[in-house]
Amino acid sequence: MASVKPAASRKSPLGELLRSWREARRVSQLELGLKANLSARHLSYVETGKAQASRDMLCRLADVLEMPLRERNALLLAGGYAPEYPENLLTTPALEWMRQAIDLIITHQEPYPAFVLDRHWNVLATNQAAVRINQLLMRGS
CATH number of the domain to which 63 belongs: 1.10.260.40
Encode pLDDT of 120-132 as tens digits.
Answer: 899 999 999 999 9
Which pLDDT band, with edges at 50, 70 and 90, does 8 fall under? very low
Domain hosting residue 106, numbered range: 93-140
64 plus 119 within the same structural domain: no
1 occurs within a structural domain:
no
Q: Which long-range contacts (CB under 8 A, 24 or more apart) does 20-29 make?
A: 21/65, 21/67, 21/71, 21/75, 22/47, 22/65, 25/65, 25/66, 27/64, 27/65
pLDDT of residue 2: 53
Q: How far from 29 is each of 18, 32, 57, CA to CA, in Å?
A: 10, 5, 14
34 plus 59 within the same structural domain: yes
Find the mean pLDDT for residues 105-134: 92
Looking at the 3D structure of the chain, how many domains does it have?
A: 2
pLDDT of residue 85: 87
Find the mean pLDDT for residues 49-69: 93
28 plus 58 within the same structural domain: yes
Percent of the residues in the chain that have a pLDDT greater than 90, as a whole number: 71
How far apart, in whole angstroms, are the C-alpha atoms of residue 71 and residue 78?
Answer: 10
How far apart, in whole angstroms, are the C-alpha atoms of residue 34 and residue 39?
Answer: 7
| Residue 115: DSSP 8-state | E
Q: Is 90 exceeded by the pLDDT of residue 113? A: yes
14 occurs within a structural domain:
yes
pLDDT of residue 90: 82
Find the mean pLDDT for residues 93-100: 91
41 occurs within a structural domain:
yes
- Report the 10 Å Cβ neighbour count for 105: 13
Q: Is 80 exceeded by the pLDDT of residue 21? A: yes
**Has this prediction a pTM greater than 0.75?**
no
Chain centroid, CA 118 distance in Å: 13
71 plus 28 within the same structural domain: yes
Q: Is 80 exceeded by the pLDDT of residue 52? A: yes
17 plus 40 within the same structural domain: yes
72 plus 11 within the same structural domain: yes
